[in-house]
Amino acid sequence: MTTTGRILIVDDEPKICSFIGRALGAASYQSDSARDGAEALDAVTRNRYDLVILDLVMPGADGRQVLRDLLAIRPGQQVMVLSCVADITTKVELLDLGAQDYLTKPFSLEELIARVKARLRPEPARGVPEVIRANGIVLDAAHLIADAGSGPVSLSRLEFMLLSELVVHAGRAVSKDSLLASVWGYRQSDPGSNILDACVRRLRAKLGFELIKTVRGKGYQLITR
Partner DNA sequence: GTCTTTCATGAAATTTCTGTCATCAACGGA
Partner DNA sequence: TCCGTTGATGACAGAAATTTCATGAAAGAC
Binding region for DNA (CB under 7 A): 154, 156-159, 176, 184, 190, 192-195, 197-202, 204, 209, 214-219
Least Cβ distance, residue 92 to a copy of itself (angstroms): 4
The H or E element containing residue 61 is strand 61-62
32: Cβ–Cβ under 8 A, 6 or more apart, which residues?
6, 7, 8, 9, 43, 47, 49
* Total residues at interface with a copy of itself (CB under 8 A): 53
Between 134 and 195, name the residue whose CB sits nearer to DNA. 195
Taking the complex as a whole, how short is the minimal distance between the CB of residue 169 and a copy of itself, in angstroms? 9
Pairing of strands 101-104, 61-62: unpaired
Q: Could you say whether residue 170 binds a copy of itself (CB under 8 A)?
A: yes
Sheet of 219-222, strands arranged across: 173-174, 219-222, 212-215
Helix (H) or strand (E) holding 200: helix 195-207
| Contact in structure between 51 and 45 (CB atoms under 8 Å) | no
Site string for a copy of itself, 110-129 (x = CB under 8 A): xx-xxx-xxx-xxxxxxxxx
Tell me the one-letter amino acid at 109.
Answer: L
Residue 48 interacts with a copy of itself (CB under 8 A): yes or no = yes
Contact positions vs a copy of itself (CB under 8 A): 1, 48, 74-77, 88, 91-92, 95-96, 98-101, 108, 110-111, 113-115, 117-119, 121-130, 132-136, 139, 141-144, 156-157, 160-161, 164-165, 167-168, 170
